[in-house]
Amino acid sequence: MTPVNTVSEILWPPKFLEAMRSAQHWVVFTGAGVSAESGIPTFRDALTGLWSNFDPEDLATTEAFLRDPDLVWGWYEWRRAKVLEVAPNPAHQAIAELARHVPRLTLITQNVDDLHERAGSPSVLHLHGSLHHPRCMRCAKALDPPQPLDTSQGEQLLAPPVCVDCGGLIRPGVVWFGEMLPEQALTQAFEAAAQCDLLLSVGTSGVVYPAAQIPQLAARSGAWVIHINPQNLALGSEREFQLTGAAGAILPLLVQQVLAD
């Protein structure tokens, strides 16, 4: 199918409508694009993406944290405070709504912002951790996040707290490059992808593995895969479609289609 260009042009393929209405198990797999319309930058969009403006080698590895804990902790605390200043958008809300109407829905996210939970999604598999769950680097004790910093000053150096139990440094609760993904969440995500009838892949460039395997696994297992993204993506199989546009515009329309009889 040729991708559509604007939301008003969506011609829902009859086969796909039928697949949506009959699917018993949905998987929704999200990336940074689902939060873009809330005002949270993605990673790889030119100019605005975080990795266009910051070097992940300085900020998103264990080595970076050990080399300069104040730089890394301050950057993640700045990101957490920015997230707390914004609200879930219609894409997050549509996903939460969808879960209330389809027989079963597994929500898997690469995002660390918790906007799905704030939109009312009850259960979210977090593959890359969360900005809101810092923990001790040495003993893994969880810590309530501190008072959010004032973002009007931009990013700033900030010393990480120290664990009251063991004296270790508190680190952000996100997965860094070179680290393993949380085993239980990854296993559940792979199982859901292999068993689902239909997978929506929303706002992800699909370049970071192992998460990027999830839509591929669903397609290989015979599920329909629908990508929602403003950029044209390379589609791998006959069972994959793309709805081209912003998630906040397309997902509410998709939910309407599911609910229409």
The reply on whether position 205 binds ligand OAD by CB under 6 A is yes
The reply on whether position 203 binds ligand OAD by CB under 6 A is yes
For strands 198-202 and 224-229, give the pairing.
parallel
Residue from 36, 198, 199, 217 binding ligand OAD (CB under 6 A): 36
Instruction: Tell me how far apart the alpha carbons of residues 69 and 157 are, in angstroms, rounded to a whole number.
Output: 9
Spell out the residues 6+ positions from residue 241 whose beta carbon is closer than 8 angstroms to its own: 1, 13, 16, 224, 225, 226, 227, 235
The strands making up 25-30's β-sheet, listed across from edge to edge, are 124-126, 104-109, 25-30, 198-202, 224-229, 240-244
Q: Which single residue brings its beta carbon nearest to ligand OAD?
A: 33
Residue from 43, 76, 78, 224 binding ligand OAD (CB under 6 A): 43
The reply on whether position 96 binds ligand OAD by CB under 6 A is no
Residue from 137, 170, 186, 246 binding ligand OAD (CB under 6 A): 246
Q: Among the options 92, 116, 126, 128, which is catalytic?
A: 128
> Of 103-132, which residues contact ligand OAD (CB under 6 A)?
110, 128
The reply on whether position 75 binds ligand OAD by CB under 6 A is no
Residue from 31, 74, 134, 172 binding ligand OAD (CB under 6 A): 31
Active site residue 128: yes
* Terminal Cα distance for the chain, rounded: 24
162 vs 212, beta carbon nearer ligand OAD:
212
